Structure 1
């Protein structure tokens, strides 16, 4: 993928690029990852996850490039990092669970953090979207639907499945999670070419990232150090002087099949919640409605409200349809009035042939109108000039 993620752009703008690669891999031994507990205020509070017993299942390198970002996260970008830690509570369990199911390192979670800050609606300057910042072509290559109604790059679970398949493919190609992460950022072809030039082969080890780092684009050189720094701070924020962070709870939802072309506002009214809440649960519905067609589309609603949806939806939809039809009739009526007025003006407009010595001002004054009105009627700009023999429309 091209370098286009929301968080790296923000943090890299605040630091110096191109620090020389240094150090060797010092991989930690993977053990049980500590967990967090739920507080009574609707957040996940820092608890066991914030003790010094944090462990890793990706290599953790402590060197100058990594330390640079640790310092950035915990000083100049501390508020931003705290926000990302809050958001992580909503998606961390889901992402770790899927990584575990695939037998992949769970700490690849932090790649999503540096890509989007755990924001499923994040969009970069290069039009990459979602938790994992897929560009459209790569998203579609990995099975995501992207059109004017549904953008599954914004679907947390489906985009995570696609990202994990992509990372697995990259790991299979390069034999290293560090190299896979670099390829995720800058593209597999570039990393493969640099690997062949530096090491003589495409596949390698995590240590090879540091060997080829100086030959990669400046953004990609910082990508793995950025991921490692995010993991270090994300697992032990207290160790780096950050205040305790209350993490958001995961959204709890059920799915109901909703007729095609139905607005989320209608579903929200049927289940008794605000439309904003349904938008948060269905960020992939980019027009806040189900896509058109013959088949119903699954919509997420707050858990425990399926019976309420079933009882209320038909009546709410009927009222909403009647309201929409009334509004449509009003719009059509206004458009008809505008067309009739325009037609009357067109038929009542007079024509004038410009004579030598005339100006728009004299023509407008003689016909009891304004220069601006004559210009508008004839599609003329402020610098347009008239010439003898030219036919002008004189507005009534």
Structure 2
């Protein structure tokens, strides 16, 4: 009886050790398991973990319901290496920091995924695209948390002009990105391919499928129909998604989500400076800028509708201020230099000194103003945009001039006493166009 009792106790201790080990490190073959990398290296973000530091044991946080990828996939060598890289202590810190970047708009992302019928695990895609940084810019010029290129915004209601770049707005681009991903999925019928298309383009993905005669993403990668970046893109996403789906087990801290109802939008169509708005309403300027990251100069664009995002509790104060048309809500004018402009003329028009213009525009040379350069001019009073020197509307351009060696539009305009912009416009040219010898130009009769 004694022998039997010791054996039972020993068995119970072994089971307990096994269960504790499984809870800490995961069972072999589970999606969240960190696997050993093979010899081939893989690129990583600048601040991504190196994979050299072992993960530390931490108390488990309260359980959450994090979305998991719901399609099967092979656990390739690239997938295993990314699991290893991001499941270290450095990796967990990195993923925690990135997910905490999303607290302000995470609730909106989940609500849009549900509204548009998209899988909730797509919330993880900005982790590999931008680290949830709204002003992230890639080497190829992609912008925002969803990394839109200029040539990829067509049809997705994203505006870019001299005042705004809505690729930097996480709320606007979340809707656009989900629509784009769903368009990819409807076109390709497969999530690995839809994700690959988000990276390299739908056209390139369809071309690869057609050339290879298969719609299997993994086979396309194996046969070399995708660039290395796209070959790594999907395994990296899947590895990080597997870890984030088990955030409680790995101790990945997402931070507290900011409720979507904590802010609202109000339509404006005149320039409103966030610094003035902050000063007049008591809302922090940094909060207003953070809620409206699309604004280049923290000024709403003039003459076009813009939905200004503000804290909900400040709605009445902001609305009252905006309804008062007598209030000047702009601290600066933005002026583009044209030929014939002088700082003295601009100072007279805007009611500021030349020294003040120079103070706000370091590096400007008063005697050699650069055409097309933008000047920031303090708005001490509300005035119309300076139009500069203009030619008479009734100039007779029935004369002609043959271009000779050494001629430029500038020299020809000066010889005829007109602005270079007028001469260029009358001849369907650009101001800096190179003239061909013998070309006939329309000029005014002197």
Task: Provide TM-score, normalisation by structure 2.
Answer: 0.58
Residue in structure 2 matching 1:72, options 85, 89, 92:
85
2:207 corresponds to 1:209: no
Name stretches of at least 5 consecutive residues in structure 1 with no aligned partner.
1-6, 16-44, 343-396
Residues 296 and 182 (structure 1 numbering): CA distance in 2 closer, same or farther, change over 3 Å?
Answer: closer
Residue in structure 1 matching 2:297, options 287, 292, 316:
287
1:304 paired residue number = 313
Residues 71 and 323 (structure 1 numbering): CA distance in 2 closer, same or farther, change over 3 Å?
Answer: closer
Question: Once the 2 structures are TM-superposed, how far is the Cα of residue 238 of structure 1 from its aligned partner?
Answer: 4.1
Q: Is the 8 A contact 2:68 2:241 kept in 1?
A: no
After the TM superposition, which residues 1-396 of structure 1 pair with which residues of structure 2 at under 5 Å, given as runs? 9-10=45-46, 47-49=62-64, 55-59=68-72, 61-75=74-88, 76-198=90-212, 200-201=213-214, 204=215, 208-214=216-222, 215=224, 216-240=226-250, 242=251, 244-250=253-259, 252-293=262-303, 295=304, 297-312=306-321, 318=327, 328-332=350-354
**C-alpha distance in 2 between matches for 1:104 and 1:49:** 20
**C-alpha distance in 1 between matches for 2:332 and 2:217:** 60
**C-alpha distance in 2 between matches for 1:177 and 1:116:** 20
**C-alpha distance in 2 between matches for 1:322 and 1:190:** 47
Q: Is the 8 A contact 1:256 1:299 kept in 2?
A: yes
Secondary structure of 2:302's counterpart equals: coil
**C-alpha distance in 1 between matches for 2:62 and 2:73:** 22
Q: Is the 8 A contact 1:259 1:296 kept in 2?
A: yes
Residues 121-168 of structure 1: per-residue CA shift (max 9 Å, x gap)? 211111111121000111134221111212111222221121122112
1:31 paired residue number = none
**C-alpha distance in 2 between matches for 1:46 and 1:298:** 38
Q: Is the 8 A contact 1:91 1:118 kept in 2?
A: no
Name stretches of at least 5 consecutive residues in structure 2 with no aligned partner.
1-42, 52-59, 334-346, 359-365, 368-446
Residues 89 and 236 (structure 1 numbering): CA distance in 2 closer, same or farther, change over 3 Å?
Answer: farther
Residues 238 and 277 (structure 1 numbering): CA distance in 2 closer, same or farther, change over 3 Å?
Answer: same
More helix by share: 1
Residues 171-196 of structure 1: per-residue CA shift (max 9 Å, x gap)? 12211010011111012232222222
Higher RCO (CA 8 Å, separation ≥ 6 residues)? 1
Q: Is the 8 A contact 2:321 2:327 kept in 1?
A: no
CA RMSD of aligned residues (A): 3.4
Residues 304 and 238 (structure 1 numbering): CA distance in 2 closer, same or farther, change over 3 Å?
Answer: closer
Secondary structure of 1:219's counterpart equals: helix
**C-alpha distance in 1 between matches for 2:209 and 2:240:** 26
Residues 213 and 263 (structure 1 numbering): CA distance in 2 closer, same or farther, change over 3 Å?
Answer: same
**C-alpha distance in 2 between matches for 1:326 and 1:235:** 62
Question: Once the 2 structures are TM-superposed, how far is the Cα of residue 12 of structure 1 from its aligned partner?
Answer: 8.3
**C-alpha distance in 1 between matches for 2:99 and 2:357:** 51
